[in-house]
């Protein structure tokens, strides 16, 4: 949803512009100089226009430098006098080490070797990546090598190969579907020429996996509106599916925008509308080709990326801060907060319009940040 908002032209997107009045200011001050935008990087004039995302606070804007921001439009933001903010008290939080994960990739696509490289960079050591499709293992490994994958350079994940058809139930039942932390259902390359056929196959795989998971889950009771206890299995088939969705995440790659309405209404899977995201990125780069360098880093396995942060990373309990103050608190970790999603909200707000009103944040609120990979 965040990428759809940023890449689409209906909400906020990236802009690059020069502001002579900001020359001589440190990036920490530039960060809170725009009431209607969120600065997230610098285009450095002294280095041939090199683009730096999430620069150091001590970087001083030079003559000719341009500021990269997230804003609603290129004429909707302008610098203002620095707001009055509380001193950003340092919070020393010990983060728990990331746990290894077990992920299933259903389907085969041409750039799956790139996905494996990115996952290897993101996941904790000891993770397993299961590949399940109907391409024989020998041909599968050959395709990965031809695509540029070097198996010896995989540091954090171990590949596990399984052959089978993702729309045949007995093939799926041979997998430990209840043990995966997340499952990615890819638009299979065998049917990629037809968006409707690819989405139909993905939906069939999704429903089969959720049904198998639901059947394997232990008996669970729920409290009904009348106060009586009843089993989810005695309710609706969709109730069983939603119980299964609480145990593991499934991401379905879809190609037709109409399919996302089915997934959104069912609430048993998240989705990535890959064709639409690529089209929006191309349109953004066509409007301003400099944005390509920004997107290239944010999507790559190295450098800065979009992260979801829990509120306790920046806030103490019962503390009241405005958005500018949260941004300054995040700078202690060299992160740029660009938005948030409140506990009771369905969507995140990128570049919130009110950055100066203080509020008490909930422990279940989350923030969207641009940060280097941990």
pLDDT digits (tens, 9 = 90+) for 42-72: 999 988 889 999 999 999 999 999 999 999 9
Torsion of CA 6, 8, 12, 14, to 10 degrees: 60
User: Are 196 and 133 contained in the same domain?
Assistant: yes
User: Are 310 and 203 contained in the same domain?
Assistant: no
Is residue 57 one of the residues assigned to a domain?
A: no
Q: What per-residue confidence (pLDDT) applies to 223?
A: 40
Is residue 50 one of the residues assigned to a domain?
A: no
Q: What per-residue confidence (pLDDT) applies to 54?
A: 94
User: Are 109 and 257 contained in the same domain?
Assistant: yes
Which tokens in the block code for residue 113?
Answer: 């070797």
Q: What is the mean pLDDT of residues 201-212?
A: 90
| Residues 271, 260 contacting (CB under 8 angstroms) | yes
User: Are 260 and 168 contained in the same domain?
Assistant: yes
Torsion of CA 80, 86, 92, 97, to 10 degrees: -40
pLDDT in tens, 137-174: 999 999 999 989 999 999 999 999 999 999 999 999 99
Is residue 185 one of the residues assigned to a domain?
A: yes
Own/partner pairs for 277-282, CB < 8 Å, 24+ apart? 277/3, 277/4, 277/7, 280/4, 280/7, 280/8, 280/9, 281/7
State the burial class of residue 212 (Cβ atoms within 10 Å of its Cβ: 0-12, 13-18, 19+): middle
Residue 221: pLDDT band (50, 70, 90) is very low
Q: Inform me whether the pLDDT recorded for 192 exceeds 50.
A: yes
Is residue 353 one of the residues assigned to a domain?
A: yes
User: Are 149 and 194 contained in the same domain?
Assistant: yes
The overall average pLDDT reported for the chain is: 86
User: Are 116 and 265 contained in the same domain?
Assistant: yes
| Residues 131, 158 contacting (CB under 8 angstroms) | no
User: Are 319 and 196 contained in the same domain?
Assistant: no
Q: Inform me whether the pLDDT recorded for 41 exceeds 70.
A: yes
User: Are 245 and 106 contained in the same domain?
Assistant: yes
Give the sign of the dihedral formed by CA 217, CA 103, CA 144, CA 204. Answer: positive
H/E stretch holding 69: strand 66-71
Q: What per-residue confidence (pLDDT) applies to 95?
A: 66
User: Are 241 and 309 contained in the same domain?
Assistant: no
Q: What per-residue confidence (pLDDT) applies to 4?
A: 86
CATH number at residue 345: 3.30.70
* 97 vs 112, more confident: 112
Is residue 86 one of the residues assigned to a domain?
A: no
User: Are 118 and 201 contained in the same domain?
Assistant: yes
Q: What per-residue confidence (pLDDT) applies to 170?
A: 94
Give the sign of the dihedral formed by CA 12, CA 15, CA 21, CA 25. Answer: positive
Return the axis-axis angle of helices 195-216 and 237-245, rounded to nearest 10°: 90
Q: Inform me whether the pLDDT recorded for 239 exceeds 70.
A: no
pLDDT in tens, 242-294: 666 666 788 889 888 888 777 777 777 788 888 888 899 999 899 889 999 99
Is residue 265 one of the residues assigned to a domain?
A: yes
Q: Inform me whether the pLDDT recorded for 89 exceeds 80.
A: no
Is residue 79 one of the residues assigned to a domain?
A: no
Q: Which structural domain range is residue 154 located in?
A: 102-217+236-269
Q: Inform me whether the pLDDT recorded for 112 exceeds 70.
A: yes
Q: What per-residue confidence (pLDDT) applies to 210?
A: 87
Q: How far apart are CA 268 and CA 258, in angstroms?
A: 17
Q: What per-residue confidence (pLDDT) applies to 355?
A: 95
Alpha helices in 89-136 (DSSP H): 112-122
Q: How far apart are CA 21 and CA 2, in angstroms?
A: 31
- Report the number of distinct structural domains present in the chain: 2
Q: How far apart are CA 35 and CA 162, in angstroms?
A: 53
Burial 4-34 (b: 16+ CB within 10 A, else e): bbbbbeebbbbbbeebeebeebebbebbbbb
Backbone angles phi, psi at 213, to 5 degrees: -60, -45
Least confident of 157-166, 186-195, 232-241, 278-287: 232-241
Q: What per-residue confidence (pLDDT) applies to 234?
A: 43
Q: What is the mean pLDDT of residues 129-142?
A: 93
CATH number at residue 186: 3.40.50.720
Q: What per-residue confidence (pLDDT) applies to 374?
A: 67
CA distances from 169 to 163, 174, 207 (A): 13, 9, 10
Picking from 253, 269, 285, the residue at the C-terminal end of a domain is 269
Q: How far apart are CA 144 and CA 267, in angstroms?
A: 33
Is residue 53 one of the residues assigned to a domain?
A: no
Q: How far apart are CA 207 and CA 16, in angstroms?
A: 44
pTM, entire model: 0.81
Q: What is the mean pLDDT of residues 16-28?
A: 95
User: Are 196 and 264 contained in the same domain?
Assistant: yes
Percent of the residues in the chain that have a pLDDT greater than 90, as a whole number: 53
Residue 228: pLDDT band (50, 70, 90) is very low
| Residues 260, 272 contacting (CB under 8 angstroms) | no
Q: What per-residue confidence (pLDDT) applies to 226?
A: 45
Q: How far apart are CA 321 and CA 302, in angstroms?
A: 32
Q: How far apart are CA 127 and CA 136, in angstroms?
A: 23
User: Are 209 and 334 contained in the same domain?
Assistant: no
């Amino acid at each position: 949803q965040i990428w759809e908002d940023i890449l689409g032209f209906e909400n906020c997107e990236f802009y690059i512009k020069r502001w002579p009045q900001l020359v001589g200011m440190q990036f920490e001050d530039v960060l809170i100089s725009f009431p209607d935008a969120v600065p997230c990087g610098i285009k450095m004039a002294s280095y041939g226009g090199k683009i730096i995302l999430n620069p150091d606070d001590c970087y001083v804007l030079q003559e000719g430098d341009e500021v990269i921001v997230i804003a609603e439009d290129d004429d909707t933001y302008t610098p203002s006098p620095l707001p009055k903010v509380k001193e950003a008290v340092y919070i020393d939080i010990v983060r728990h080490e990331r746990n290894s994960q077990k992920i299933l990739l259903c389907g085969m696509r041409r750039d799956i070797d790139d996905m494996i490289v990115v996952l290897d960079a993101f996941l904790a050591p000891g993770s397993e990546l299961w590949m399940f499709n109907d391409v024989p293992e020998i041909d599968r490994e050959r395709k990965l090598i031809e695509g540029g994958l070097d198996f010896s350079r995989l540091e954090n994940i171990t590949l596990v190969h399984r052959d089978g058809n993702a729309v045949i139930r007995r093939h799926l039942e041979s997998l430990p579907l209840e043990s995966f932390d997340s499952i990615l259902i890819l638009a299979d390359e065998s049917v990629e020429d037809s968006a409707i056929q690819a989405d139909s196959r993905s939906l069939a795989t999704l429903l089969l996996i959720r049904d198998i998971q639901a059947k394997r889950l232990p008996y669970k009771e729920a409290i009904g509106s009348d106060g009586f206890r009843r089993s989810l299995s005695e309710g609706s088939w969709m109730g069983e599916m939603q119980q299964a969705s609480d145990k593991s995440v499934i991401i379905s790659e879809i190609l037709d925008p109409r399919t996302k309405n089915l997934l959104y209404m069912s609430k048993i899977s998240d989705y990535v509308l890959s064709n639409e995201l690529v089209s929006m990125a191309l349109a953004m780069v066509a409007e301003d080709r400099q944005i390509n360098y920004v997107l290239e880093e944010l999507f790559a396995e190295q450098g800065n990326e979009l992260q979801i942060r829990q509120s306790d990373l920046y806030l103490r309990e019962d503390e009241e801060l405005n958005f500018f103050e949260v941004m300054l608190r995040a700078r202690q970790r060299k992160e740029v907060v660009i938005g948030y999603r409140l506990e009771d909200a369905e969507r995140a707000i990128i570049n919130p319009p009110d950055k100066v009103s203080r509020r008490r944040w909930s422990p279940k609120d989350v923030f969207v940040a641009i940060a280097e990979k941990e």
